[in-house]
Amino acid sequence: MIQKDAKLYYVERWLAYYTKGELDLAIKDFNKAIELNPEYPYAYYNRGIAYADKGNTDQAIGDFSKAIELNSKYAIHIMLAA
């Protein structure tokens, strides 16, 4: 349970960093969320968005692919965002 709560802390803080345009800090928080739960597609998807916004296409594609692998519903989100 503690890991679940910690994961959510990093996810919520990510949003604050992302909104402020602090993409490197946002990515760092999703790295931690993924470390706490490597089966969390939301973290991969949103880290992919941050990577895409930074122009790091290869990392973004890798994260989007992992999100889809973990939960196929993310394919629709990625298609709609394109």
Query: Tell me, what's the pLDDT at 1?
Result: 43
Query: Tell me, what's the pLDDT at 3?
Result: 53
pLDDT in tens, 7-49: 677 778 888 999 999 999 999 999 998 998 899 999 999 999 9
Fold of 2-81: 1.25.40
What distances in angstroms separate CA 28 from CA 23, 33, 79, 80, one per listed residue? Answer: 8, 9, 25, 25
Q: Which of 48, 67, 43, 70 is nearest to 59 (CA)?
A: 48
